Amino acid sequence: MEKETITKDKKIKENQKETTALQVIPAEQRKDWVSLAFVQAGICVCVPAFLLGAMLAEAMPIWSAIISGSLGYLVVVIGMVITGMMGCDLGVPSCTACEAGFGKKGARFIVSIIFAVNLIGWFGIQNGVCGEAFTNGLQAMTGIHVPVVVSNTVWGLIMLLTAVYGMSALEKLDKISIPLLMIIMFFGLYLAFKIYGRQGLETETVQTMSFMSGVALSFNFTAVGTINAADYTRFQKSRKDTVKSVFYGVFPMGVITLIMGILLTKISGEYDISMVLINVGLPLFGIAAMIISTWTTNSTNAYSGGLNIVMAFKLKDNKRREATLVAGILGIVLCNLGVLSHIEGVLSLLSYVVCPIGGVIIADYWIVGKGKKENFRPVDGVNWCGVISWFIGALCAYFLVKVEFSGIIIGGIVYLILEKFMPSTSRDGICEQ
């Protein structure tokens, strides 16, 4: 009897160890919406989110900045719900969800490579920001100088190990770190008001950015996360849970971080809450804010990067951990070599390429396939209808519209037009695989 209990406990522990990459997540591994809401919240709080608030604060009056930025996050939520429900229905990550619209080879050689490069690059960039802040903060606090390369490597590996373990580790991390980060953030804002006063809020800002441009900018900061939402929502039990986790996870934390970035920029001239804390003589809190905000976001970069490496290199599905490890180590190495500081603009450019992917898969699943998972039929080889639509969407968004998220609309419309001439296997009752 004792042996049976030990064996049973061992099996439970083995089931808790996430190795699945591209296969369908079984019912027993699905999670409640609250757990995933914390993970979604962790993705939103990072230095770029504060930077968004600063950019809006410098380009328009405070209330216009808050409202336009908040509307942008609302658009993000809508997009993540749409792509996220696909992940919940199918139980697979975003790259696998592209196998109908792009075909298996198209998803492997186009989608997964684009996603992997983007995610690995941003893991390295944010790792560098965290490492530099840790080195500077520690020196200000103790006088001890730790080389930035060492800080990058140590914190990069810590963030990476969380991602390697999987969704359970991400969930535990965010349930602890998000409430703690909220306390530190509000404390920092309070100190900023106490030291710098309200004078900056009363200074009028000349509007140099239109209201809709502010909405678009807010969306663009989370464009990639909007498209690959299925990487996390595949663990949800239902569409209703998906809506709850995305809305309550993304919108509150996104808006709070945005508003803090706006207020801090207005009153102190510094948008980053961690730098404000360091500047007012509290480097320990500043370092903590920087590490937590980077950790919760960067671990998901490595996690999603690993999923896409599995597909790109056609690895066995149980090699997710090894693939995640490779993704993170590549990011750390590139960060320490200084390569990423020269290609940050290239990574930003990739958002123009990512958005049309979303347009194609949304059009194929929700319009052509009528939002039914039984109509989702992966195509062997390349679905040229999807590839051509993606290419046209990216070109038009970059050269004509100059707004990243327009690629979603353009890519989706072009796909629906071309699909009339090259019918998709997702079309109910018309084509059989």
Residue-wise pLDDT for 199-243, tens only, equals 878 777 878 889 988 998 888 888 888 999 999 999 999 999 999
Residue-wise pLDDT for 143-181, tens only, equals 899 999 999 999 999 999 999 999 999 999 999 999 999
Residue-wise pLDDT for 93-150, tens only, equals 999 999 999 999 999 999 999 999 999 998 998 999 899 889 988 887 888 999 999 9
**Confidence at residue 83, expressed as pLDDT on a 0 to 100 scale:** 97
Residue-wise pLDDT for 359-392, tens only, equals 999 999 999 999 999 999 999 999 999 999 999 9
Average pLDDT over residues 15-40: 87
Q: Which pLDDT band holds residue 3 (cuts at 50, 70, 90)? A: very low
Q: Which of 11-20, 342-351, 375-384 has the lowest mean pLDDT?
A: 11-20
Q: Which pLDDT band holds residue 47 (cuts at 50, 70, 90)? A: confident
**Confidence at residue 283, expressed as pLDDT on a 0 to 100 scale:** 82
Q: Which pLDDT band holds residue 345 (cuts at 50, 70, 90)? A: low
Residue among 89, 95, 108 nearest 375 (CA): 89
**AA letter at 110:** I
Cβ neighbours, 10 Å, residue 250: 26
| Three-state secondary structure readout of the chain | CHHHHHHHHHHHHHHHCCCCCCCCCCHHHCECHHHHHHHHHHHHCCHHHHHHHHHHHCCCCHHHHHHHHHHHHHHHHHHHHHHHHHHHHHCCCHHHHCCCCCCHHHHHHHHHHHHHHHHHHHHHHHHHHHHHHHHHHHHHHHCCCCCHHHHHHHHHHHHHHHHHHCHHHHHHHHHHHHHHHHHHHHHHHHHHHHHHCCHHHHCCCCCCCCHHHHHHHHHHCCHHHHHCCHHHHCCECCHHHHHHHHHHHHHHHHHHHHHHHHHHHHHHCCCCHHHHHHHCCCHHHHHHHHHHHHHHHHHHHHHHHHHHHHHHCCCCHHHHHHHHHHHHHHHHHHHHHCCHHHHHHHHHHHHHHHHHHHHHHHHHHHHHCCCCHHHCCCCCCCCHHHHHHHHHHHHHHHHHHCCCCHHHHHHHHHHHHHHHHCCCCCCCCCCCC
Cβ neighbours, 10 Å, residue 220: 20
**Confidence at residue 257, expressed as pLDDT on a 0 to 100 scale:** 92
Residue-wise pLDDT for 191-200, tens only, equals 888 888 888 7
Domains of the chain with CATH codes: 30-343 (1.10.4160.10)
Average pLDDT over residues 338-352: 71
Q: Which pLDDT band holds residue 5 (cuts at 50, 70, 90)? A: very low
> What percentage of residues in the chain have a pLDDT greater than 90?
62
Angle at 230 between CA 424 and CA 28, to 5 degrees: 110
Residue 17 has pLDDT above 80, yes or no: no
**Confidence at residue 4, expressed as pLDDT on a 0 to 100 scale:** 47
Residue-wise pLDDT for 269-317, tens only, equals 887 778 788 777 788 888 888 899 999 999 999 999 999 999 999 999 9
Q: Which of 21-25, 195-199, 419-423 has the lowest mean pLDDT?
A: 195-199
> What percentage of residues in the chain have a pLDDT greater than 70?
93
Integer-rounded Cα Rg, in Å, for the chain is 22
Element (H, E) at 144: none
Longest dimension (CA), the chain: 76
